[in-house]
Amino acid sequence: MELNKYQQELFNHQRPVIEKFGARTWKWTIFFLLWIGLGGYALYLQIAKGHTVTGMRDNVVWGLYIANFIFFIGISYAGAVISGILHILKVEWRKPIIRIAEMVTVISTIIGPVFILLCVGRLDRLHHLFLYPRLQSPITWDVFAIGTYFTGSVIFLYLALIKDFAIYRDAKLNIPKWQQKMYKILAIGYRGTKGQKRHIRISTNLLAIMIIPLAIIVHSVLSWIFGMTLRPGWHSTIFGPYFVLAAIYSGTGVLIMAMWVYRKMYKLGNYIQDKHFIYLGYIMMVLGAAYGYFTFSEYLTDWFGSEKWSNEVIDKIFNPAKYGWWFLFTNIAGILLPIFIVAFPKTRKPGWITIASFFMVIALWVKRYLIIVPTLESPLLPMQDTRTEYVKYSATWVEWALTFAGIATFFLFFTLLSKFVTIIPISEFGGKEKPVVTTKDSAEENEIAPA
């Protein structure tokens, strides 16, 4: 593969990352593996003793695991937004960040469903989902929707990678043989001929168009697991769009954080520029406002209507003695903070926007918890159980350990994948565009350092 001047410069910059694993990467990998190991022990306990080791009981039948499931599927929308929508709109500045976005998508779509598996009581019977499928059940819809979405996302990521694999293959990188061979296989004989280029272009366009409705379907169906029941706080018509919006919103937040980390870690200031943070910041601000609007109308209608059963849930969410402070936190950190940070020019800086994203993403995780638990703690018939753990949910260390193991897996996959492919797609910088504009603050980060 012939590289142009810009591509060569970019490739030289990222080459050491692929060629050397580095002591720092080893340290992080081991750190993540330790967390995963702890999670493995927790999982062993859960399988051996049953779900009695979790905080879930007959009333609150779902807890942290389901919150994590929604959360991870939610952040997978990073790819859908940046790669899908921005691709269709032919937004040029997206190019340096599409790889990160699609990696977030694929990795979190792997981890999300794992949490469903952790929640299920009989892992040995998962094949029943295919042996005796019932089309009426929203879970069956989810299995198909997430399966399709995952396949689509993997293909989308791969399509964007084929050209890069060809570059790695031809670059005579100083890497082990198996890795060379791997690139060769994955490049599937791409030589950059006119026909090959055309095929990739058409397939990418098609997938970009497909991935958007797919993403909408996935989170709608997910919300309907709750929306289809007769439970107060769940049985809401706006749950589909509300969940989809929250997902895109949190996905943008995670993307911003990932960009910030990689820019720092691999000195990519020339490519992931301030403008990327600011543009994504604008997107985040708009989504934040829309999310705030949905939140407001959802809780306002429930509170104003003041039906007996809704009231119980609303009371739990608004009451400072119950979940009130958490709810306030989700609204301040999850809605107001990102809007104000981006709105004021003084704070419209990569650092500030990243901090806002960080709090927003945490707030949205808490919000998922607040959607699940208070409703389950408010059954329609009075709860007259004398066993306190049956009345109020509190997650056990097993659930927390597995939650952190999931987060560690996310980081681990990210770390490993970024050692295998370049974080900035090289082939995207072909032809017309002149990508490298050295900004003031990124100039000092310009030198190459092996990770």
Partner 1 sequence: MEEELNKPGIKTNRKDFLKKGLFAGSVLATGAVGISSLTSCSNNSGKKIKVLTADGKLVEVDSNVIIEAHPCCAAPAKESRKGIPGKKFVMVIDLSRCKHALKCQDACQRYHHLSGMNVWLKVFKMHDAETMAPYWMPKPCLHCDKPPCVKVCPVSATYKRDDGIVLVDNDRCIGCRFCMAACPYSTRSFNWEEPQYLSETKGAVYSPELGFPQKKGTVEKCDFCPDMLRQGKLPHCVTACPNGVFYMGDLNEDSVSNGAETVRFSQLMKDKGGYRLNEILGTEPSVYYLPPVNRLFPFKDVEITKENTEETK
Q: Which residues bind partner 1 (CB under 8 A)?
A: 49-52, 56-59, 61-62, 116, 119-122, 125-126, 128-129, 131-134, 136-140, 143, 225, 228-231, 376, 379-387
13 or 51: whose CB is closer to partner 1? Answer: 51
Are 26 and 402 a contacting pair, CB within 8 Å? no
Contact 79, 43 (CB under 8 A): no
- Cβ neighbour number for residue 324 with a 10 Å cutoff: 14
Taking the complex as a whole, the smallest distance from the CB of residue 76 to partner 1 amounts, in Å, to 21
Which residue number, 61 or 91, has a Cβ lying nearer to partner 1?
A: 61
Smallest distance, Å, CB 70 to partner 1?
14
Nearest-approach distance from CB 37 to partner 1, in angstroms: 24
- Separation CA 99–CA 215 (nearest Å): 18
For residues 450 and 17, the answer to whether their CB atoms sit within 8 Å is: yes
Least separation in angstroms between CB 375 and partner 1:
9
CB of 139 to partner 1, least distance (A): 4
Q: How far is the CB of 352 from partner 1 (least distance, A)?
A: 40
* Residue (120 or 212) nearer to partner 1, CB: 120
Indicate the residue among 47 and 185 with the shorter CB distance to partner 1. Answer: 47
By beta-carbon proximity to partner 1, the closer residue of 306 and 384 is 384
- Minimum distance from residue 140 beta carbon to partner 1 (Å): 5
Amino acid code (one letter) for 228: M
Nearest distance from C-beta of residue 61 to partner 1, angstroms: 4
- Residues 6 or more apart whose Cβ sits within 8 Å of residue 72: 108, 109, 111, 112, 115, 406, 410
Comparing CB distances to partner 1, the nearer of 52 and 439 is 52
The residues near 129 (Cβ < 8 Å, ≥ 6 apart) are 139, 140, 143
Measured from the CB atom, is 157 or 317 closer to partner 1?
Answer: 317
Task: Copy the structure tokens of residue 318.
Answer: 């608004």
CA atoms within 13 A on the CB side of 195: 1
CB of 207 to partner 1, least distance (A): 28
CA dist 74 and 215 (Å) reads 9
- Nearest 5 degrees, angle CA 342-CA 262-CA 344? 10
H-state helical runs in 306-396 = 308-318, 324-331, 337-343, 350-376, 388-391
User: How many Å from the N-terminal Cα to the C-terminal Cα in the chain?
Assistant: 26
Q: How far is CA 210 from the centre of its chain?
A: 19
Half-sphere exposure for 433 (CA within 13 Å, toward CB):
17
Following DSSP, what letter does each residue of 114-134 receive, concatenated? HHHHHH-S-GGGTTHHHHS--
Residue closer to partner 1 by CB (options 22, 138) is 138
| Nearest residue (CB) to partner 1, 190 versus 243 | 243
Instruction: Identify the CA nearest to 337 among candidates 353, 325, 323.
Output: 353
Cβ closer to partner 1: 306 or 386?
Answer: 386
| Cβ atoms within 10 Å of 349's Cβ, excluding its own | 16
Least distance CB 5 / partner 1 (angstroms): 55
* Contact of 366 with 1, CB cutoff 8 Å: no
Measured from the CB atom, is 233 or 435 closer to partner 1?
Answer: 233
**Shortest distance, CB of residue 47 to partner 1, whole angstroms?**
9
Cβ of residue 60: shortest distance to partner 1, in angstroms? 9
Burial class from Cβ neighbours inside 10 Å (0-12, 13-18, 19+) for residue 187 reads buried
- For residues 233 and 338, which CB has a smaller minimum distance to partner 1 in the complex? 233
Distances (CA, A) of 165 to 7, 17, 426: 14, 15, 10
